[in-house]
Amino acid sequence: MKNIKFLVVIFALLISSCEQKSNEPLVDSFGPPAEVRNVKVENLPGAARVTYTLPSDPGMLYIAAEFTDDRGLKKVVKSSGFKNYVLLEGFGKAKEYEVELYSVSKSEQRSAPVRVNISPTTPPIQLSANTVEASHTFGGVLLNFKNAFNMEYVFYTLIKDNNGTWVEYDRHYTGAETEDILFAVRGLEATPTEFAFYLQDKWQNISDTIYSTLTPLYEEELNKSLWKAEELIDDFYEPLYDTRPLSQLWTTGGTSYFFQNHKDYPEKAGMPTWVTIDLGKEYLLGRMKTHMVQHADSWKYGSCSPRRFEIWGSNNPVPNWDNWTLLGEFESTRPSGRGIGEPLTDDDEKQIVDGEDFEFELTDQSYRYIRYKVNETWGSTTYFCLLELTLWGQAAN
């Protein structure tokens, strides 16, 4: 009997300890805090900076700004109680918006609202869209625009299908580090094509749509089986490894690299340096892809990998540079924007694998011979190394 009574007492105590308690703030409330004062607005592109005088209230924790954006979505932006401003971003249209400012206490009690009107100017996404230029190029369209505010965008390209319906053809992601955006959308036939382009930002704002009708130029990858080293007297074509001559540059494979032999030919080492290639027949050159040596990280955006280089064309391959025409000056860049020796990002690694693309200016002059001239390597070496070089264009005649 004593055991039964003991169990009854224990059960009663357990029931008592499990009684529901109301959720209360961990900090004692001082009551609703006072409002912010001396509110001022600085309107910015797609944004507004609202400054104010914070209340002298020991219980105040942060400031909350509430507003409804141009898509009808209610937004709340919080700013620390140690800052005298709140930055409101992501507005997709330049118009007036009403904002309510609240002082919020440590116990989540709000002050009375202070209402203020803001008028963000034209948003960055639309300013960028206003600069979009589209032109035909080999196998597609060449697109460029200004990213003056260093925003991250998705650039959409749409085309009309056979039923006259707009369908998404490509999306291109731009990093925030790049101000001048230039890229190509390829894989298109050489027929008149209706295009539509627009941008989307991280707040899901969409720019106005740009329409254009363009005819991509026919292109083909140059036949590398026709290529050979021209070996002019002032070229530095001697390989560091006997089994990997200059022809490795047009031999597909992850280990088919070419290194200039700076050890045995020190008199030829130094920048600039160049090699000459016979393409086998004349071509109108449209674009180029280069692959860096990549079987060790030291060559990825480092060591002897070319950073600044030029392509020259001629149909009379002699050492005299007067017989050569400059077809383009190029610079290799890291998608991450990081410098030499800094850790590789996923975007950097992807470009290493995919290769780096470069565009030639459109011309009606065809060439059979090219000179690959390196002015600077990533590691400031006196010689260059490269895995593979690929060209696209049109065969003459």
- 3 state SS of 56: coil
Looking at residue 25, its pLDDT comes to 52
Same domain, 80 and 145: no
Residue after which a domain boundary falls, among 185, 218, 251: 218
Q: What is the mean pLDDT of residues 147-173?
A: 94
Same domain, 186 and 148: yes
Residue-averaged pLDDT of the chain = 91
Same domain, 243 and 377: yes
Same domain, 95 and 109: yes
Q: Where are the beta strands (DSSP E) in 59-192?
A: 60-68, 74-80, 85-89, 97-105, 114-118, 133-137, 140-146, 153-160, 166-174, 180-186
Range of the domain at 288: 221-395
Confidence of residue 391 (pLDDT cuts 50, 70, 90): very high
Same domain, 319 and 236: yes
Q: Is the pLDDT score of 347 beyond 70?
A: yes
Of 120, 124, 190, 180, which Cα lies nearest the Cα of 151?
Answer: 124
**What is the per-residue pLDDT across 294-303, written as a single tens digit (0 to 9) for each?**
988 999 999 9
Same domain, 240 and 330: yes
What residue has token string 């209402």?
115
> Rg of the chain over CA atoms, in angstroms?
32
Q: Is residue 8 part of a domain?
A: no
Same domain, 48 and 183: no
Same domain, 191 and 240: no
C-alpha angle 77-81-87 in degrees, rounded to nearest 5:
35
Q: Is residue 1 part of a domain?
A: no
Looking at residue 7, its pLDDT comes to 43
**What are residue 115's DSSP bridge partners?**
100
Q: Is the pLDDT score of 362 beyond 70?
A: yes
Q: Is residue 84 part of a domain?
A: yes
Q: What is the mean pLDDT of residues 230-257?
A: 91
Distance CA 280, CA 194 (A): 36
Q: Is residue 285 part of a domain?
A: yes
Same domain, 225 and 213: no
Q: How many domains does the chain have?
A: 3
Q: What is the mean pLDDT of residues 55-72?
A: 93
Confidence of residue 252 (pLDDT cuts 50, 70, 90): confident
The DSSP element (H or E) to which 390 belongs, if any, is: strand 388-395
Model-wide pTM > 0.75: yes
Looking at residue 29, its pLDDT comes to 55
Residue after which a domain boundary falls, among 196, 218, 240: 218
Q: What is the mean pLDDT of residues 23-52?
A: 85
Distance CA 357, CA 185 (A): 12
Give CA 252 to chain center in angstroms.
28
Looking at residue 121, its pLDDT comes to 98
User: In sequence order, what DSSP letters do the residues of 230-267 get, joined into one string?
Assistant: ---TT----BSSTTS-GGGGGS-STT--EEB-TTT-TT
Report the CATH number at residue 85: 2.60.40.10
Looking at residue 336, its pLDDT comes to 84
Report the CATH number at residue 378: 2.60.120.260
Q: Is the pLDDT score of 156 beyond 80?
A: yes
What residue has token string 């992601």?
173
**Higher-confidence residue: 340 or 15?**
340
Same domain, 200 and 238: no
**What is the per-residue pLDDT across 274-292, written as a single tens digit (0 to 9) for each?**
999 999 999 999 999 999 9
Q: Which of 42-46, 127-131, 178-182, 286-290 has the lowest mean pLDDT?
A: 178-182
Structure tokens at 196: 């539509």
Q: Is residue 66 part of a domain?
A: yes
Residue after which a domain boundary falls, among 198, 218, 238: 218
Same domain, 163 and 111: no
Q: Is the pLDDT score of 70 beyond 50?
A: yes
Q: What is the mean pLDDT of residues 191-207?
A: 96
Q: Which of 24-33, 204-213, 218-227, 358-367 has the lowest mean pLDDT?
A: 24-33
Q: Is residue 233 part of a domain?
A: yes
Confidence of residue 1 (pLDDT cuts 50, 70, 90): very low
- 3 state SS of 188: coil
Q: What is the mean pLDDT of residues 361-380?
A: 96
**What is the per-residue pLDDT across 130-143, written as a single tens digit (0 to 9) for each?**
999 999 999 999 99
Which residues are CB-neighbours of 8 under 8 A, at least 6 positions away? none
